[in-house]
Chain A
Amino acid sequence: MNYSNLFRIAIRALIRNKLRAFLTMLGIIIGVASVIAMLAIGEGSKQKMRGQISSMGTNMVMVMPNFQRRGGVSLGASSSMALKYTDVIALRNEAVDVGAVSPEIRASGQIIYSNKNTQTTIYGVSEEYLSIRKLEVLSGRVFNANETRSMAKVCILGQTVVENLFGKGADPVGLSIRIKNLPFLVIGVLKDKGESGMGQDQDDLILAPYTTVQRRLAAIDYINGIYASALSEEKSPAAIVEVEEILRRTHKLKESTENDFRVMSQSELLKTITSITDIMTYLLGAIAGISLLVGGIGIMNIMFVSVTERTREIGLRMSIGGRGKDIMKQFLAESIILSILGGVMGVVFGYLLARLAGSLMSSQAIVKTQSVVLAFIVCFVIGVFFGWYPARKAANLNPIDALRYE
């Protein structure tokens, strides 16, 4: 029997039981749809996080003091003071793979404008900080070298701070606000950046010259961190090594001593987050895969019922010349058609589900071609695998017994 005949016979047999065929497919449809949707949501959130992290600058290199703990006791105070402004100068002068370098000093406090107030973090930085962190000025300007030298009380506001103090969309450039009771002149407003990949508001900040924050607000002589940018994303591993060498030298650390600082790069962070979201995606996919397996067992169950119910039909087909292998092929074809058709519907349904979920979660759901191809292969395998045993049972029936079956 040739294959077009085979599939015609199988399709006719399925059409005779439309409702049952559909219910059988439902297991596969739900299984495939959930796999496709889960993978698409996972892929979508991965891409979203990736985008957000790259928007922070993929060539960014961060230096933080290393908070050492010994036997559970934090040696925080002394080690958190490890970084000094001289480190920034050393990096600026000596590091070859590093472009811009900026210190970061954090202070938090109450900000007041007329009868409104808010709590936020004030970042003391140099002008390069904006290019390193990919921040842009929406209106006004960035502080200049003169203002830095003179510890001028000028600041640049993030959008959330603007919203809290002045209302949405206001332009407070030229107005004066009070930070920890000191009057500061607003010289610029930053462009909106939205939430970070980890759900942090990236607009809730104030930038000011590092000298101003260090002396007037925080009153410390060390710095909280250094932000630098490698010359390119590819050079960031080299930049990390270089930064480490330079800082060990300026900190006069002996061979045996551990670093009193930590160097991290955004590309490393990206890798970590990508691997985490990958694991999430596979986990979701695996759970959805279980429902696909259950769908496959559903097919096997129905094929068994079908073989029993159609025993007389099998007997008749044998009596008019159907060979065991023809019967077997017919039942296999039926289960493959069921699973592939279920797969097609599942892909469509899963795609719609992914789009719906994507719009609800305000992240795009991306259906990759690979997952669609994979779904079809899995469906075909399920059709063959779970159809095989019932089909063999049908093929091995004795024609007389099958004909007499009541």
Chain B
Amino acid sequence: MNTIIEIRNLRKDYHVGEVTVHALRGIDLKITEGEFVAIMGASGSGKSTMLNILGCLDKPTAGDYLLDGINVSSMEKDAIARLRNQKLGFVFQAYNLLARTTALENVELPLFYNPKVRARDRREAAIRALEAVGLTDRMHHMPNQLSGGQQQRVAIARSLVNDPVLILADEPTGNLDTRTSFEIMELFQNLNEKGRTIVYVTHEPDIAKFATRNVMFRDGKIYRESIVTERLNAKEILETLPVEVIEEFD
């Protein structure tokens, strides 16, 4: 198995006025292809900082970060932007879809920044990504015409569209109700089964049990790492849940 992420003695300090906050105090982490990792921890434990660094949105103060064999720590700004575009897919807690823009156009967005994708292939790639999340019938809806779960699916389609090596999700179910959360986790499990490497942050132990491995952060350090033994299957859980009558807006 290829190593997707390799982190060695990674540190991150913030300077707030004269006080230095040590957000990360020496992290060593390895994630291989096909893994499904949940990063857990209380707020202030450093898990969000970790995800930002993994997503190349933030630079570490010290230490090495190798993404798909490339050392990110020494890279130029523009090269890092290309990395974000082609190697990474982001899913946010607040979905971060462009308002007054159709689902399809939202999904197309990362392709505009990818010089390898030709204009005529763009639409087709976006449609394929929406198919993968099961939203082909909502392609031309605006975000405000979609439910929270549907918006998060659009966001996941957007993260998939450039065929990244890694999908990063920051509390992807944080704004969703239980049933919809399970639906999103079902989607992630499906994608993972097809070989996608996924790393997500959550503070809910239930949600973490859908992953294959849990990494627990405390005070800027990895407190515990564990393989999930009683892994939950989102599809099975959904079948046991009473079917709610979902009102559709069309």
Chain A interface (Cβ within 8 Å of chain B)? 1-2, 4-5, 8-9, 12, 16, 312-313, 315-326, 399-400, 403
Query: Residue B58 at the A interface, CB < 8 A?
Result: yes
> Which residues of the other chain, A, contact B158 by a CB distance below 8 angstroms?
320
A1-B113, A12-B105 are known contacts. Are A323 and B78 too (CB-CB below 8 A)? yes
Q: What is the interface residue range for chain B against chain A?
A: 20 to 34
Interface string of B82-111 (1 = CB under 8 A from A): 101110001010001011110001000110
State in angstroms the CA–CA spacing of A268 and B81 once bound together: 68
What residues on A are CB-neighbors of B100 within 8 Å? Answer: 16
Determine how close the nearest CB of chain A comes to the CB of B12; give it in whole angstroms: 12
B55→A319 contact, CB < 8 A: yes
| Interface contact tally, CB-CB below 8 A | 68
Q: A1-B113, A321-B82, A326-B113 are in contact. List 6 more A-B contacts (CB 8 A).
A: A16-B98, A318-B84, A319-B57, A319-B96, A321-B113, A400-B57
User: With A4-B119, A316-B98, A403-B92 known to touch, is A321 a contact of B77 (CB < 8 Å)?
Assistant: no
Contact B86 A325 (CB under 8 A): no
Looking at chain A's contact residues, the main secondary structure is: helix
Q: A-contacting residues of B (Cβ < 8 Å)?
A: 52, 55, 57-58, 77-78, 81-82, 84-86, 90, 92, 96, 98-101, 105, 109-110, 112-115, 119, 158, 162
A5-B119 contact given A322-B113, A326-B113, CB 8 Å threshold: yes
Given A5-B112, A313-B98, answer yes or no on A320-B84 (Cβ-Cβ < 8 Å): yes
Bound form: Cα–Cα A1–B122 in Å: 13
A399 touches B57 (CB 8 A): yes
- Report the bound CA distance from A393 to B105 in whole Å: 26
Residues on the B chain within 8 Å of A321, using CB: 81-82, 84-86, 110, 113-114, 162
CB distance from A16 to the nearest CB of B (A): 4
Interface contact A12-B101, CB-CB below 8 Å: yes
Chain A residues near B58 (CB, 8 Å)?
400
A-B contact pairs, 17 of them (CB 8 A): A1-B113, A16-B100, A312-B96, A316-B92, A317-B109, A319-B84, A319-B90, A320-B109, A320-B110, A320-B158, A321-B84, A321-B162, A322-B113, A323-B77, A324-B81, A326-B81, A400-B57
B57 touches A403 (CB 8 A): yes
Most chain B beta-carbon contacts within 10 A, residue among A1, A325, A403: A403
